[in-house]
Amino acid sequence: MRDYFKRFPRSYHFMVMVFGPALLFTHGPKSFLHRFPSAGKILNLGSGPRVISSKITNVDIAQYPGVSVISDIVSMPFGNNTVSRIICDNVLEHVSEPWKAVSEMHRIMEPGGLAYVSTPFLYPFHSSPNDFSRWTDEGLKSLFSEFEIVEVGVRSGPFSALNVYLCYLFATLFSFGSKRFYWILVDASIFIFFPIKFLDLVFNYFPRSINMASHLYCIVRK
């Protein structure tokens, strides 16, 4: 179902932002680029169909609309020290060997270049096409130990985590063992519980929300 709607990037992005289980309005790629503008080469790794800006090169393993470079992010066709900014937004959990992707980011990034990375923390399994990993704030610092850590924070807070687990719990209770019906209920229940996530417009900024957040982000410098 998700792959079908990704054929219509604007509609898909609107649905994710408004009805998706996690609040993704704050501390995102656009905020990063506003704070750290660059005239150099900017990549959006694992972009899917989303086009943030015409100045950004979209890189994805699948040929979605808007993707300029078809590539696995563990081995990319860019030279050493040639990229100024990197965005990797909720992608690394779908990479079986994420440390290789991080090493590849380090290789292609110019000295002083910056990367924005967001990853899930307290979030259930979601295949796209598969799902392998989760990170705490300390886990992100360890994963990006080759880089200077500029900032680590909450992308989607505790009420986004509560919201998505309610969707999965609802599907578990009422699917009666049917795998197909389970995933239908997961997607359908999002439209029931999604208003809960908007409490994170406040709770994203609570100091200890980082310990129970749905998603975290980090900004790193080479």
Q: What are the pLDDT digits (tens) for 106-117?
A: 999 999 999 999
- Span 148-183, pLDDT tens digits: 999 999 999 999 999 999 999 999 999 999 999 999
Rounded average pLDDT over 52-66:
93
Q: Is 222 helix (H, G, I), strand (E, B) or coil?
A: coil
Rounded average pLDDT over 122-139:
94
Angle at 119 between CA 70 and CA 77, to 5 degrees: 25
List the one residue out of 201, 212, 192 whose CA is nearest residue 122: 212
Which pLDDT band, with edges at 50, 70 and 90, does 129 fall under?
confident
For residue 142, pLDDT over 90 is answered with yes
Using the CB atoms, write b or e for 201-219: b if 16+ within 10 Å: eebbeeeebbebbbbbbbb
More confident residue, 70 or 49: 70
- The answer for 85, left when phi > 0, alpha when psi is -120 to 50, beta otherwise, is beta
Q: Is 22 helix (H, G, I), strand (E, B) or coil?
A: coil
DSSP state of 196: G
Rounded average pLDDT over 69-87:
98
For residue 194, pLDDT over 90 is answered with yes
200 CB neighbour count, 10 Å cutoff:
28
| Spacing of C-alpha 54 from chain mean position | 20
State how far the Cα of 105 lies from the Cα of 81, in Å rounded to an integer. Answer: 10
Please list the alpha-helical segments (H only) found in the chain. Answer: 2-5, 9-19, 29-35, 98-108, 137-143, 158-174, 179-193, 200-203
Please name each of the domains of the chain with its CATH number: 2-157+201-221 (3.40.50.150)
Strand partners, 56: 42
Q: Name the average pLDDT for the chain.
A: 93
State how far the Cα of 24 lies from the Cα of 83, in Å rounded to an integer. Answer: 25
Which pLDDT band, with edges at 50, 70 and 90, does 8 fall under?
low
Rounded average pLDDT over 42-66:
94
pLDDT score of 18: 80
pTM: 0.92
Which pLDDT band, with edges at 50, 70 and 90, does 70 fall under?
very high
